[in-house]
Amino acid sequence: MREQQIATVMEKSEVKNFDHPDEVRRFPHGRVELVQIGGVVVGRSILEPGWRWSESVQPIAKTESCEAAHFGYVLSGVLKMRMDDGTEFECHAGDVCLIPSGHDAWVVGDDPVVLVDFQGMSTYAVPT
């Protein structure tokens, strides 16, 4: 049944643009713009210097760390991640990144981070 629903969705052509998102979620030092296309939610995060998940989104999510898994492409800036196990890494402009659930993240430097995320955005920054 699910395969049939996906096939039906994929038969319809769609074009969306982040200049006219279906939804915008705002939080301190940033926002995420969402488009729904092909049965999925794609998000563009714009994170300003000073943004940190544990300070800007954790009060909304009310979880210890970010529980969303992300699969995205970084358009600009540098985003640093610290996984719950202590592992740290950075995502730079031009990087495609896969970030499992269980992390904190923050903007490094003076440039905003712009990230297009193809996974994990449907419930991101939604009050629980």
pLDDT tens per residue, range 25-82:
999 999 999 999 988 999 999 999 999 999 999 999 999 999 999 999 999 999 999 9
Angle at 82 between CA 64 and CA 108, to 5 degrees: 115
pLDDT score at 120: 84
Tell me the three state secondary structure of residue 56: helix
Averaged pLDDT of the chain: 93
In contact, 34 and 25? CB cutoff 8 Å: yes
Q: Which of 60, 83, 63, 77 is nearest to 116 (CA)?
A: 77
Question: Which domains are assigned to the chain?
Answer: 16-117 (2.60.120.10)
